[in-house]
Amino acid sequence: MSTIMITVGNLAENGAESLERYAQGVIPLLEQAGVKILGRYQGIEALVGEHPFDLVAVMEFPSLEAMKQFLASDAYGAMIPDRERAFKYLRTFACNTL
């Protein structure tokens, strides 16, 4: 059963270049892993709560195990320093359909 990954985040003040490097490195890895990118979005206005997220990404992985393997892979691990420099706040979680 496929599993949805949702990532929300706010960029660090000088994180744009790191975000670009992160995206350029991670998107091909996602494609190689059979992940379907359902959408990448820029928050524009908070309607409930105080602040919108700068970035929201929604992806479909083949399974929860595939998601965990992807995140634990050496190839993805090499991208973590750029991810850490790109975001001041970042949360990623797995979801199933209700």
30, pLDDT greater than 90:
yes
Phi/psi of residue 38, nearest 5 degrees = -85, -25
pLDDT at 97 over 90: no
Which of left, alpha, beta for 43 (phi over 0: left; psi -120 to 50: alpha)? beta
CA distance 63 to 53: 26
Residue 98 confidence (pLDDT):
84
- Domains of the chain by range and CATH? 3-95 (3.30.70.100)
What's the pTM? 0.90
Of 7, 6, 31, 30, the closest CA to residue 96 belongs to 6
Query: What SS3 state is found at 2?
Result: coil
